[in-house]
Chains A and B, each alone.
Chain A
Amino acid sequence: MFIKEYFKTIYLTVSSLLKGMKTTGYYFTHQKEIITEQYPEVRPVLAERFKGEVIMPHNEANEHSCTGCQACEIACPNGTIKIVTKNEINAEGKKKKAIDTFVYHLELCTMCNLCVVACPSDAIIMANNYEHSVFDRREFTKVLNNPGSKIMEGIE
């Protein structure tokens, strides 16, 4: 009785192993169904909403839409964003707050999207970049507004 059980177990084990090997063999012979990506040679197509880093889009006239309201700085949980403002005198001779530098610390950012949601004028968006490694840590600190850029007309 014991010997019968013993051989039955061996039979079941081998047959279930072969059943599993059948699945492995299927993919061995059907290599077109394997979905492995050859990463560095083949670049992946990322989703359009993929959160890679915060950028500030500028138009052709080197204009952005950031008013310097600092809503993103308040919304950020890690102190990633630091906005330095200055007073600009506009065409009517009035003083107006404008951004001097929009400092963004990529190494502190967790891509939580809270700053983009908080922005009232949609001045910052998330970009699709994903290869962020650099040789020097200082390169992580970025200034998002282009040099000499101005605020767009009509954005308060």
Chain B
Amino acid sequence: MLEELGTNDQGDMIINIGPQHPSTHGVLHLVITLNGETVKKVEPHLGYIHRSIEKMCESLSYRQFIYVTSRMDYLSSHINNHGCALCVEKGLQIEIPARAQVIRVLMDELTRLASHLLWWGALAMDLGAFTPFFYSFREREMINELMEDTCGARLTMNYIVPGGVMMDLHPDFQRKVKEFLRLFKSKIHEYDDLVTGNIIFQNRTKGVGYISREDAISYGCTGPTGRGSGLSCDIRKLYPYEIYDQLQFDEVIETDGDSWARYKVRVGEMMQSMRIIEQLIDNIPEGEFQAKTKAVLKLPKGDFYTRVETARGELGVYIVSEGGSTPYRIKFRSPGFSNLSALDHMSRGGKIGDLMATMGTLDLVIPDIDR
């Protein structure tokens, strides 16, 4: 590959973006063929942060492998843990206490909110506005402190375990969540003033990185990327897990398929997450936070598949068990990998500056792609 870098025989320039580049948010290597300023081809090169998590999981027991999955999509680590715990519980066929279910959903939605806040700041930074980053981190910091109170960690919590959650909620949790919601609502107008209402930002995202509904389906785009193209793909609505079928929230769908539509979907999802948290925060049932499980978990022979909606799309967890205490094979269907595969299709024919906007609205987390 390396000898092709420079100029090819058609006179197009081939340049590298990454592996170390501020706008790739990680170690992603893009080889871009340019005709002047027009992008002709985008070729992602992966593997810089491959840690063979799937192989590692084969030697870890069903309690131990969950902590590794926090390191895949580190911005929605709770939801990754949730998906794995659900899959193990499906194999064990155990009932989860009502309190644990509510805590799990609350934590999932807070994680989604925190992840979207980080994305919002990082996207604005990609497009040249540095200040919004600090505004979104101010609110995200409050969620991180909530997590630190209850789970003891800020990013890789390992809080959701097979059978329920690891520890009970911190006594201050409800008060602090309500305080966060009140503060966040009073600050939303700043978000609109700074970025959403900005004409420069709108012009840089409208009509940029278009993908049609059919293409989104064939590339396997899920999450806000798919929903921005009018594809109804919210796992919380389509295949409800835990208590999502009893909650009132809307699936945010935009039909334009461009970066602006994906931006609107994510901002809308933040509001829906707040709606879910508001419904649950006063209705946490009393009782056990963890079901009684055996000391050594052994899944029956067979294969089990569950899926959850992370902040980036659909995460599938597939476990093949031979009946022992460790899985025979684990496969993760990560949302980032499929969303990245659509990047070439989205950015062809656009300008190189628009590539950053497209990549920003895909919300790529590189450890999630490489695993």
A20 touches B199 (CB 8 A): no
A37 to B173, CA, bound (A): 23
A114 touches B149 (CB 8 A): no
With A77-B64, A114-B64 as known contacts, state yes or no: A19 contacts B153, CB within 8 Å: no
Residue from the list B68, B149, B152, B200 in contact with A126, Cβ < 8 A: B152
Q: Does B120 contact A (CB under 8 A)?
A: no
Residue from the list A13, A46, A117 in contact with B199, Cβ < 8 A: A13
B68 touches A47 (CB 8 A): no
Q: Does B150 contact A (CB under 8 A)?
A: yes
On chain B, the number of residues with a Cβ less than 8 Å from chain A's Cβ atoms is 30
Residue from the list B60, B135, B138, B151 in contact with A77, Cβ < 8 A: B60
Q: Does A62 contact B (CB under 8 A)?
A: no
A49 touches B190 (CB 8 A): no
A154 to B128, CA, bound (A): 65
Q: Does B158 contact A (CB under 8 A)?
A: yes
A49 touches B151 (CB 8 A): yes
A24 to B282, CA, bound (A): 35
With A9-B199, A13-B200, A17-B198 as known contacts, state yes or no: A49 contacts B152, CB within 8 Å: yes
Q: Does B131 contact A (CB under 8 A)?
A: yes
Q: Which residue in chain A gives the minimum CB-CB distance to B146?
A: A47
Q: Does A16 contact B (CB under 8 A)?
A: yes
Q: Does B193 contact A (CB under 8 A)?
A: yes
A111 touches B198 (CB 8 A): no
Which of B64, B150, B152, B194 counts the most chain A CB atoms within 10 A? Answer: B152
B67 touches A47 (CB 8 A): no
A142 to B141, CA, bound (A): 32
Residue from the list B151, B170, B197 in contact with A19, Cβ < 8 A: B197
- Cβ–Cβ < 8 Å partners of A76 in chain B: 64
Q: Does A97 contact B (CB under 8 A)?
A: no
Residue from the list A9, A22, A49, A75 in contact with B149, Cβ < 8 A: A49
Q: Which residue in chain A gives the minimum CB-CB distance to B167?
A: A49
With A24-B131, A35-B138, A114-B64 as known contacts, state yes or no: A46 contacts B166, CB within 8 Å: no
Q: Does B145 contact A (CB under 8 A)?
A: yes
B194 touches A23 (CB 8 A): yes
Q: Does A134 contact B (CB under 8 A)?
A: no
A/B interface sample: 10 pairs, CB < 8 A: A13-B200, A20-B195, A23-B135, A35-B138, A47-B148, A47-B152, A49-B152, A49-B170, A110-B67, A114-B64
Residue from the list B67, B153, B156 in contact with A114, Cβ < 8 A: B67
With A35-B138, A117-B166 as known contacts, state yes or no: A47 contacts B199, CB within 8 Å: no
- Cβ–Cβ < 8 Å partners of B68 in chain A: 77
Q: Which residue in chain B gives the minimum CB-CB distance to A46?
A: B148
With A49-B148, A49-B150 as known contacts, state yes or no: A113 contacts B158, CB within 8 Å: yes
Q: Does B63 contact A (CB under 8 A)?
A: yes
- Min Cβ gap A72→B in Å is 12
Q: Does A58 contact B (CB under 8 A)?
A: no
- Cβ–Cβ < 8 Å partners of A126 in chain B: 152
Top-8 shortest CB links A-B: A77-B64, A112-B67, A49-B152, A51-B152, A47-B148, A112-B158, A13-B199, A20-B194
- Cβ–Cβ < 8 Å partners of B199 in chain A: 9, 12-13, 16
Residue from the list A9, A19, A111, A114 in contact with B63, Cβ < 8 A: A114
B153 touches A51 (CB 8 A): yes
- Cβ–Cβ < 8 Å partners of A24 in chain B: 131
- Cβ–Cβ < 8 Å partners of B152 in chain A: 47, 49-51, 111, 113, 126
Q: CB-CB contacts of B150-175 with A at 8 A, as 1s and 0s?
A: 11110010100000001100100000
